[in-house]
Amino acid sequence: MDINILSWNVNGLNSPIKRTKCLDYLRCKKVSIALIQESHLKSADVHRFQNKYFKVISSSSAVNKTKAVLIMSKRNIGFPIIRSGNDTVGRITYVVVSLNNTKYAFMSVYAPTEGDSSFFQELLRLVVSLEDCLVVLGAGSSYFHEL
């Protein structure tokens, strides 16, 4: 089974037209799994970024319409989800799946624009905790930090 993965900072999905165009793009590019940053969707609105071809399988939203990350998959992809998780501030979400007897952890991360060592420590702890998986990380930020 071929898996096409896209990491994408969409810079907001609160417009219905933009949501539709983004979902059309995912389908046109034959994306299997999308790691989305900066959706700006609140928890109650995440379901709006789905259609008959794609579904949200994990997400994290901020209280206000900022940040927010999510992971989408094709509806017919057919892999079992072993576990998923997220932070509470819209910066990290992940899902562990099984493909061809191998565990993969797909992560969507939106890092702070200013240095925040506690964020990077939390991210590192999470990645280390996924030691039994191959980690695929899609990330967006204008700041890079040496770990």
- The whole-number pLDDT of residue 74 equals 98
What's the start-to-end Cα distance of the chain, in Å? 34
- The whole-number pLDDT of residue 144 equals 52
Phi, psi of 70 (to 5 degrees): -155, 160
Q: Which fold has domain 5-140?
A: Deoxyribonuclease I; Chain A (3.60.10)
Structure tokens at 75: 């509806």
Buried b (16+ CB within 10 A) or exposed e, 11-31: eebeeeeebeebbeebeeeeb
- The whole-number pLDDT of residue 140 equals 81
Q: Spell out, as residue ranges, where the chain has pLDDT lower than 70.
A: 141-147
pTM strictly above 0.85: yes
- The whole-number pLDDT of residue 53 equals 98
* 90: nearest Cα among 75, 73, 68: 68
Calculate ∠ Cα 55-98-4, nearest 5°: 55
Determine the Cα–Cα distance for residues 56 and 34; give it in Å rounded to an integer.
Answer: 9
- The whole-number pLDDT of residue 114 equals 77
- The whole-number pLDDT of residue 146 equals 52
- The whole-number pLDDT of residue 80 equals 95
Buried b (16+ CB within 10 A) or exposed e, 97-109: beeeeeebbbbbb
